Amino acid sequence: MASEKPKLETLQKDFEDISKLPRLSAAVENVDKIIQLLSAAREQVAGTLDTHTAGPTMIKLQNPIKSAFESIENDLKKASAAHKKMGKALNESFPLKPLPMDHDAMADHVPLINRAIAMHLLREGQFSVASTFINEVQGSNSSKQRDTSADLDETMDEAENAYAGRYMSASPTPSDHYDLSSLHSRELHNHFSEMYSILQHLKAKDLDPAIAWAGRNSAELEARGSNLEFELSKLKYIWLFKGPAVNGLPDDDNNGFLGALTYARKTFSRFGARHLAEIQKLVCAMAYAPNLSASPYASTFATDSAFADVASSFTREFCSLLGLSAESPLYLAATAGALALPQLMKYTQKTRAKGTEWTTANELAFETPLPESMLYHSIFVCPVSKEQTTDANPPMMIPCGHVLAKETLARLCKGTRFKCPYCPSEGLLKDARQIIL
Ligand SMILES: [Zn+2]
Contacts with 394 (C-beta within 8 Å, 6 or more apart), sequence order: 405, 406, 434, 435, 436
Q: What is the pLDDT of residues 322-345, one digit of tens each?
A: 888 888 889 988 888 888 888 877
Ligand 1 centroid to residue 403 C-alpha, Å: 8
- Does pLDDT of 54 surpass 70? yes
- For 246-290, give the secondary structure using H, E and C: HHCCCCCCCCHHHHHHHHHHHHHHHHHHHHHHHHHHHHHHHHHHH
User: Which range has the worst mean pLDDT, 317-321, 359-363, 427-431?
Assistant: 359-363
Ligand 1 centroid to residue 425 C-alpha, Å: 6
- Does pLDDT of 158 surpass 50? no
Distance CA 126, CA 133 (A): 11
Ligand 1 centroid to residue 404 C-alpha, Å: 10
Q: What is the pLDDT of residues 299-326, one digit of tens each?
A: 778 888 899 999 999 999 999 998 888 8
Of the two residues 133 and 152, the one the predictor is more confident about is 133
Ligand 1 centroid to residue 419 C-alpha, Å: 8
Ligand 1 centroid to residue 398 C-alpha, Å: 7
Cβ atoms < 10 Å from Cβ of 213:
22
Q: pLDDT band at residue 28, thresholds of 50, 70 and 90?
A: confident
Ligand 1 centroid to residue 239 C-alpha, Å: 48
Ligand 1 centroid to residue 422 C-alpha, Å: 5
Ligand 1 centroid to residue 145 C-alpha, Å: 62
Ligand 1 centroid to residue 378 C-alpha, Å: 22
User: Which range has the worst mean pLDDT, 71-85, 147-161, 205-219, 346-360?
Assistant: 147-161
Ligand 1 centroid to residue 418 C-alpha, Å: 10
How many CA atoms lie less than 13 Å away from 277 in the CB half-sphere?
0
Distance CA 363, CA 197 (A): 44
Ligand 1 centroid to residue 194 C-alpha, Å: 51
According to DSSP, residue 387 is labeled P
Ligand 1 centroid to residue 406 C-alpha, Å: 15
Residue 11: exposure state from Cβ atoms within 10 A (0-12, 13-18, ≥19): middle
Closest CA to 144 of 106, 178, 114, 172: 178
